[in-house]
Structure 1
């Protein structure tokens, strides 16, 4: 939907992982052209992740975008809601002939946090665009681990519909991580967006955020000695 130079969009995403977990995201956002070659955007999302046991994680996120022909700035926040810590695989140990006992449970928990990036189109060749971005991130969970780090991303984009790339990140918890990127975006109101301004590619850019809820696990022991 568009009102003059304002565009409202809905975004739906799905995820499937090799460990059997799956997730989904749905969001709504607005983008407004402030001047030639400059667009501001706001968005809010709901994220869902099916955990390892029979439980789920839920998260809300908000994001800010400033998109331009020269560079882009993005800031995203993530806040887990509902149950943030789940326990499963619990075992009890009793020592024969004594009153001593112990129990162990596996805790899986969700992180909240922030990330930001500054990106820039590096090269355009026909309908292909080479795009690079760098930025910091910080994630935390009360009474558990917290960490901060930075990442760099390089992508090749075709008409804001198909993109492939690679992302490298480093922090004091995960060390160095490399991830492949493959995304397909289908704008359902492409004709309306193209009529908003001459450079409709700013409106067609994908929302860059981490829709997969970040989780980790640990073992929790309790005993009476």
Structure 2
């Protein structure tokens, strides 16, 4: 992570500490915060009362780019400071977590059930959730572009239609060059429509790609190629040996 972004995340996170009733770290340095302000797995009641372990996790996840509202107290995630931190980490998209990702995946992949999700390692679920958040950001950005594109196309089409009527109604006032310009304008509008359709396909392709990756992770999480458990292998060996004894 770029040093400047890390600094901004820590500064924004420090404001969250104050907002939820915790003491701000004396130094806004990652090493100090993680080693002194709240050591890992601390049992210090003072730290626990100030929500420092929770805030520590929030900082670590933020710096790793996997900040999620999942398993966090609502009195933390509903603060404007958490929203500001979220924007620093993920950009201008609505706060969403693993449950939102799972709902999206359930709509894209048929025959998913809770057991398949339960077998997915947490780190994979976190990574996929972040990918989903980036997809949301991409969709939001591209949709804004598409809207601007469509507005431009609508405006240009309206102008073109008016000019075409004008030229058609007054053939003695306009020459071939005017008609040529109208044809060129028509081509530009068609090009713009193609570009707009391309943006839509990009969103669809990206969603499909994430669905494929998600399905692959869920499939391999079942570990179907694993060796048989020892007790089954031992049981099988015992049965074979006993059956062989019959012929002795």
Flag whether TM exceeds 0.5 (same fold): no
| TM-score normalised to structure 2 length | 0.20
If you compute each CA radius of gyration, which structure gives the higher value, 1 or 2? 2
**Larger helix fraction of residues:** 2
| TM-score normalised to structure 1 length | 0.22
